[in-house]
Structures are given as structure tokens and as C-alpha cells.
Amino acid sequence: MSQSETCKPQPAAKAALPTIDFCGHKITRLICGGNPQSGYSHFTAELNWEMVCYYTMPNIQKLLDECWANGINTVQTRGDRLQMRAYLEHQLNGGKMHWIAQTASEFADINANIGEIARYKPIAIYHHGTHTDNSWHSGKIDAVRDFLKVIHDQGLPAGIGTHIPEVIQYAEDKGWETDFYMACFYNLARGYKSAPATQQGKYAEERFPVEDPPRMAATMRAVRKPCLGFKIMAASRNCTTPEKTRGAFEFGYSNIKPNDAIVVGMFPKHRNQVAENASYVKELLKGG
């Protein structure tokens, strides 16, 4: 079958959500996160499996199309082979979503992983947060700086993911060549921990204290570079009602910089979370 036979028209998009300039690209201030697509709920093993079973390749493509139709133009996912393939199929089907890629924790050779990700044309790559944080706890954080050069050598903006505010402060103080930060509102890395891709049972040790989001938000505001804040929903704990969901978005956008964005994983098996989330953002950010 030829490429032209597999292509389908992209759904008509509603008016785009408010955007920021992100390393030369206009991206929406709401970004679709990728953990649910890879089966990482940060909640329970049962929800992990439900996500794995739901997110077949057709449903991943449906999610991307639904995001575009609701004014979201950017997705952030792991740079594993499933997600690289998913983004390739999106492109071959005429999709126009931007992709921000994370290095994949299960790959032994991160440099090779970065090179492979680059072939699929993301707009940026960042170093996986758990690897960053474990390097911090083991006293090897300076080794992470080398990956920024590897990403830049691919001609792409380079970022660092982290759950620890002090990591961002350290990189800034040392003058690291970061273009952006992927910053978790909750510090899930208070000590050395396994990545979800290698030991999902570690979820039981994760905590979501209420004092964490203000602390990370203050760190994001102190940095001039764009920051992408994630887990504002505390991995589904803050979205049990529409009021709590809206409140989580309101806190996020009220406490970050105008050139920051929020990343939210979406699981539309039971209801259209994409449309719901987009509606909250449109309401909260009306007028830009």
C-alpha cells in the first residue's frame, strides 16, 4: 500500500489554545502528555494495564487527532519505539502536531536513543527526569550536561526533566546549555528510585504533598527559559471532580510564567478528557 493510500485528512481544528514561543515554535500552553499512552498511570497497576489495553495504535492516533481538533497542537511522549512509531504514523497521515520527546529510561545507550529519536523529527528532546534525579542523588549530576550537547549536535533544542527544584537551580547556576526544563509539580524523587519503565511497583512509594507544587512553581518563575510543568493533576488524584480539575489548572496557570506551559496526560476511554481539558484552559486563559 502506498503512502498516499494510507493518508487521511486531519480533522478540522477549532481555534488554537493560547500559545507560547518554544525554541522557535508556537506551541499551545496545554500539551498532551504521554504517560497514559505508554501505560504509566503513577496510580495503580490495574490502571496501568487498562491504559495499555486501551491505547492501541489506532486509539493513539485518535487521541492525537482529537487534540488537534480541540486546539492542542503539541504532544510530549517518551522516545521509545512505540511512541516513535506513533508519531511517524501521525505524520504520514497528514498530522501536524508538534512532538517534544523524552529519552527512554530502558535504553542502555542514551546517546544512541537520542540519535534514533531525532530521525522522527521532534521539535525538542529532553533528558529523562528519573535519570536526572538519580544522577543528582548519586553525586553524578554533572554527567547529565553531556547529553545536552548530544541533543544539540542533532540540531535540536535540549532540555532537562526533573522532579527536584534544586536540579533546575543548579543547572542555571552552573550555566548549563539548557533551552527548557520539564518540571514536575510534585517531587517524586526524594531519594534514588527506579524508573517506571523498569520497576512499576515503585509507584507505591510516591507521595504528593500539597506543599510541593508552590515550591516547583516558584522555581519555574525564577527561570527565564520556558518550563513545561507536569503532574499538576497529581497523577489523577486532583481530578476526581470537575471542580478539582479546574482548580488544578487554575493553580498551574496562575503560578507559572506567561512563557511556560502545562503538560497533562489524557485517558479518554470513559469520557472526552481532551475536550474537557481544552475547555478549562480556554476559560482560564481567555485573552491570552
Contact 86, 56 (CB under 8 A): no
User: Is residue 236, in this structure, part of any structural domain at all?
Assistant: yes
Residue 1's pLDDT is: 36
Phi/psi of residue 111, each to 5°?
Answer: -60, -45
- Evaluated on CA atoms 173, 178, 179, 185, the torsion sign reads negative
Please list the residues that pair with 228 across neighbouring strands: 182, 261
Give the DSSP per-residue string, 165-233.
HHHHHHHHHTT---SEEEEESS---SS----TTT-GGGGGG----TTHHHHHHHHHHT-SS-EEEE-TT
- The enclosing domain of 168 has a CATH number of 3.20.20.60
Contact 265, 34 (CB under 8 A): yes
Per-residue pLDDT 10s for the chain (288 aa) are: 344 434 455 555 567 899 999 999 999 999 999 888 887 767 778 888 898 899 999 999 999 999 999 999 999 999 999 999 999 999 999 999 999 999 998 888 999 999 999 999 999 999 999 999 999 999 999 999 999 999 999 999 999 999 999 999 999 999 999 999 999 999 988 776 665 555 555 655 667 788 999 999 999 999 999 999 999 987 778 778 999 999 999 999 999 999 999 999 998 899 899 999 999 999 999 866
Give the DSSP per-residue string, 30-50.
EEEESTGGGT--SS-HHHHHH
Domain total in the chain: 1
User: Is residue 15, in this structure, part of any structural domain at all?
Assistant: no
User: Is residue 14, in this structure, part of any structural domain at all?
Assistant: no
Residue 159's pLDDT is: 98
pTM: 0.90
User: Is residue 60, in this structure, part of any structural domain at all?
Assistant: yes
Closest CA to 8 of 65, 69, 96, 93: 93
Residue 21's pLDDT is: 97
Burial of 120 (0-12, 13-18, 19+ CB in 10 A): middle
Residue 222's pLDDT is: 98
User: Is residue 13, in this structure, part of any structural domain at all?
Assistant: no
User: Is residue 244, in this structure, part of any structural domain at all?
Assistant: yes
Burial of 33 (0-12, 13-18, 19+ CB in 10 A): buried
User: Is residue 174, in this structure, part of any structural domain at all?
Assistant: yes
User: Is residue 123, in this structure, part of any structural domain at all?
Assistant: yes
What's the start-to-end Cα distance of the chain, in Å?
44
Q: What is the extent of the structural domain holding 180?
A: 3-8+20-284
